[in-house]
Amino acid sequence: MSRAEIRSVQAVAAPASIAHAVLTDVTAWALWSPHVQRVEAATPVIEAAGWTGMVKPWFGPATRMEVTWCEPGRGMRWSSTAAGHRLDYADLVEPDSEGRCTVTMTARVSGPVGGLVQAAVGPLSAYGQRRRLARLAALSEFLHRRAIVYAT
């Protein structure tokens, strides 16, 4: 089984609680993750492991997203399957100091030809991941600077 990982890290000038709230609010995804065309889920906020939803990107079929770990202020881990491969993601929030945090996003593919999948789509996927992370950071920082209370 081949494994490959894409990883992006971003310092965020906002508390971990705000970055986490933006990350886990499905309705906010349109603001920082524009590749997501539609999400069908029972709840609009991811609060714990076990949350599931059908996520449809603009460029492909909908896949089932299953949250495997979620901790307030710390991020989440989730997985999906497509074309015989498993995709494991981590969107982790690490508090740095008062009013700051670091967000790390990783994506890992495993399956019969995971290495080939990584080679084929890795560069574009890495670019998209960096772009999403920068947008998540900017939105979190905006909410923090404006002292907008973000309650989930």
Q: What is the CATH number of the domain that holds 74?
A: 3.30.530.20
Query: Per-residue pLDDT averaged across 17-42, rounded?
Result: 93
pLDDT at 74 over 50: yes
Quick count: other Cβ atoms within 10 Å of Cβ 130? Answer: 15
Residue 127 lies in a domain: yes
Tokens 């705000």 found at: 18
Query: What range does the domain containing 75 cover?
Result: 2-145
pTM over 0.85: yes
Residue 150 lies in a domain: no
- Taking a C-beta distance cutoff of 8 angstroms, is the pair 48, 67 a contact? yes
Query: Per-residue pLDDT averaged across 37-43, rounded?
Result: 92
User: By percentage, how much of the chain surpasses pLDDT 90?
Assistant: 60
Distance separating alpha carbons of residues 53 and 137, to the nearest angstrom:
24
What does the pLDDT read at residue 12? 97
pLDDT band, residue 151 (cuts 50/70/90):
low
pLDDT at 132 over 90: yes
Domain tally, the chain: 1
